[in-house]
């Protein structure tokens, strides 16, 4: 190998070793509705930074309880803005690191193409036997669904038909498997290549409180380079493009 080529090879190898030496792992808790976009974002983040993402997906309410009980998460991507604020107030999250990474949209959805009409009038008919929604006590999308039904004046009539799922992913599964004729899910779950599979009604934002989804560094992630790098990456144009592609709004 010629000296110039050898020098270039050694420099390249040294840069690679240096990058690996500084690579770290970040453990994150992610709201279930953000599963697909986070998987894409994590792959880009790992490729760009060398850091590794270890992600758990579930309901924000359950993550809150786990974090308070000492779960080793370093970053939380919640489905609301209240939980991160509460964790910071309780010294379980790092003050000043919280920001809104996405604004969610609620959808009434059926896997069948003709069940849900464009105005959501199906909620006022007696033909529906089961309607799935995420547990409103644990999942902001479930709470938003309750708010929407009450605003429409149909909640009391629909209570006997509601099937409560543990989180928004399970609500989607109930509908996709036919165990519920329709259900309230996140737009991000049913939007494929810019189109919605099945039939859906995009619930007007005026019918429920804005679903502002906030991220925050948790106490166990304080001072951790990988946690700080991920938070920075979530604000990047690359991450924002992924978030928009799944139907979320940005603050």
- Enter the tokens of residue 56: 């758990």
Give, in order, the Cα–Cα distances in Å from 173 to each of 36, 61, 133, 177, 194: 15, 19, 11, 6, 21
CA distances to 20, 23, 26, 40, 132 from 16, in Å: 6, 10, 20, 24, 49
Beta bridge partners of 104: 211
Q: What DSSP string runs through 19-71? A: HHHH--EEEEEEEGGGHHHHHHHHHHHHHHH--EEEEEEE-HHHHHHHHHTT-
Residues 81-117: tens digit of each pLDDT: 999 999 999 999 999 999 999 999 999 999 999 999 9
pLDDT at 194: 85
Domains of the chain, CATH where assigned = 3-103+211-245 (3.40.190.10), 106-202 (3.40.190.10)
Global confidence as pTM: 0.86
pLDDT over 60 at 20, yes or no: no
* Backbone φ and ψ of 68, nearest 5°: -65, -25
Model confidence over 37-76: pLDDT tens digits?
999 999 999 999 999 999 999 999 999 999 999 999 999 9
Q: Which pLDDT score, from 0 to 100, does residue 16 have?
A: 45
Residue 130 reports pLDDT greater than 50: yes
pLDDT in tens, 181-214: 999 999 999 998 889 989 999 999 999 999 999 9
208 contacts 107 by C-beta, under 8 angstroms: no
Confidence of residue 9 (pLDDT cuts 50, 70, 90): very low
Average pLDDT over the chain reads: 92
pLDDT of 132 higher than 70 = yes
Confidence of residue 4 (pLDDT cuts 50, 70, 90): low
């Amino acid at each position: 190998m010629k000296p110039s080529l050898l020098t270039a090879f050694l420099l390249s190898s040294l840069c690679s070793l240096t990058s690996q030496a500084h690579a770290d792992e970040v453990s994150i808790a992610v709201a279930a509705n953000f599963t697909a976009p986070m998987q894409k974002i994590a792959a880009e983040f790992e490729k760009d930074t060398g850091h590794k993402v270890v992600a758990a997906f579930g309901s924000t309410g359950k993550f809150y309880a786990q974090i308070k009980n000492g779960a080793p998460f370093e970053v939380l991507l919640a489905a609301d803005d209240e939980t991160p604020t509460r964790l910071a107030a309780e010294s379980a999250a790092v003050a000043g690191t919280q920001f809104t990474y996405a604004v969610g949209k609620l959808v009434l959805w059926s896997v069948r193409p003709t069940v849900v009409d464009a105005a959501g009038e199906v909620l006022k008919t007696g033909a529906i036997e089961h309607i799935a929604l995420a547990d409103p006590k644990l999942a902001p999308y479930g709470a938003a669904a309750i708010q929407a039904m009450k605003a429409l004046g149909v909640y009391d009539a629909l209570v006997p038909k509601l099937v409560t799922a543990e989180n928004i992913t399970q609500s989607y599964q109930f509908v996709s498997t036919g165990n519920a004729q329709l259900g309230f899910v996140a737009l991000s779950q049913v939007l494929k290549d810019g189109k919605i599979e099945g039939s859906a009604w995009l619930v007007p934002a005026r019918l429920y409180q804005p679903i502002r989804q906030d991220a925050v560094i948790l106490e166990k992630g304080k001072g951790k380079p990988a946690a700080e790098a991920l938070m920075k990456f979530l604000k990047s144009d690359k991450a924002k493009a992924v978030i928009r592609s799944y139907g979320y709004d940005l603050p």
